[in-house]
Amino acid sequence: MGRKKISLIGGGQIGGVLAQLCALRELGDVVMFDIVEGLPQGKMLDIAEVGSVDRFDACLKGTNSYEDIKDSDVVIVTAGLPRKPGMSRDDLIEVNSKIMTSVAEGIKAYAPNSIVIVISNPLDAMVTLCQKITGFPYSRVIGQAGVLDSARFITFIAWELGVSVKDVNAMTLGGHGDDMVPLVRYASVNGIPVMELLENKYKDKAKAKEVMDAMVKRTRGAGGEVVALLKTGSAFYSPASSAIAMAESILKDSKRVLPTCCFLQGEFGVNGYYVGVPAVLGEKGVEQILEFKLDAEEQEMMDKSVAAVKGLVDSMKL
């Protein structure tokens, strides 16, 4: 049995971390494609030369030719510009649509059986475009946003309560924009509702709600917070780790339940759009969407988030 093959389209900030994580976790052989000559070759050589130190066996190849992504099991796309301070993700749509069009054509031609994880922004629109151009089944073209948005929410909750991030469970749904939906009702510390713990901590319901509202707000703006600090570029360690969690579940057929940007056909009241929802990821890609009933307030937030996704996707006139 040969090793799995992972291709990374885009060898920038996120692409580099993706390659290193694939190698460290021995997920398979890795190809990094970029249009810049020397960049993917240099990064992959750099990582390959430390295999003896990091104790991994993997073939790593940098390339400027789509032919090298042939027979990929998983393709992860980060090609595209990142935001600058003051920009919204949506401001990237024009330039990144052009890039995504050429990338999707390359994947369609050379890796027709792969499962594609899109990371490029604006995420929900770029996944939609990638699926349209490749023509792959919806289950094989997905986007990474929710794992990261949820991880940020979890981090803030853990810091607030002084507990390990490992014991906090929380999820965000919806689009990867400022209207994303952090699910407060299901946020828990090993099953104990976070709101109950906050009420115990502050002995005051109103104060507990105020603290939670602030964490929800920070989660929604967390990408922008990093952009503002970095000044050039956007978050890259965390999006890479998040996409690797999805890729690993697919490559190992683990069937993890991860918030994933999936094409919805009626689930959560959404029809015909890519939106973040809990999904089972396995060797076939999205194997199930786990639907559950949102309460009125959550549904209202979801509808608002979906409306923003629709506005952006419809503006592409696909």
Pick out residues in 169-188 that bind ligand TXD (CB under 6 A): 176
Q: Which of 62, 80, 259, 278 binds ligand TXD (CB under 6 A)?
A: 80
If binding is defined by CB under 6 A, does position 72 make contact with ligand TXD? Answer: no
> Nearest residue to ligand TXD, using CB?
12
121 annotated as ligand-binding = yes
If binding is defined by CB under 6 A, does position 239 make contact with ligand TXD? Answer: yes
311 annotated as ligand-binding = no
Phi then psi for residue 306, to 5 deg, are -65, -35
Does 213 participate in catalysis according to the annotation? no
- Residue 51: name the closest of 30, 72, 37 by CA: 30
14 annotated as ligand-binding = yes
Phi then psi for residue 9, to 5 deg, are -100, 110
Q: Which lies closer to ligand TXD via its Cβ, residue 4 or residue 176?
A: 176
- For 29, the enclosing helix (H) or strand (E) is strand 29-33
Q: Which residues contact 188 (CB under 8 A, 6 or more apart)?
A: 168, 169, 170, 194
Count other Cβ atoms within 10 Å, centred on residue 316.
16
11 annotated as ligand-binding = yes
Q: Which of 6, 10, 32, 72 binds ligand TXD (CB under 6 A)?
A: 10
DSSP conformation class of 269: G
Q: What is the secondary structure of 286-308 as a DSSP string? A: EEEE------HHHHHHHHHHHHH
Nearest distance, CB of residue 234 and ligand TXD, angstroms: 4
- Report H helices in 31-92: 39-48, 51-54
Structure tokens belonging to residue 189: 């510390």
Q: How many residues bind ligand TXD (CB under 6 A)?
A: 35
152 annotated as ligand-binding = yes
Query: Catalytic: which of 100, 176, 258, 302?
Result: 176
Q: Tell me which residues are annotated as active site.
A: 176
Residues of each annotated binding site for substrate: 83, 89, 121, 152
Residues in contact with ligand TXD by CB under 6 A are 9-15, 34-36, 39, 78-83, 92, 96, 99, 102-103, 119-121, 123, 144-145, 148, 176, 233-236, 239
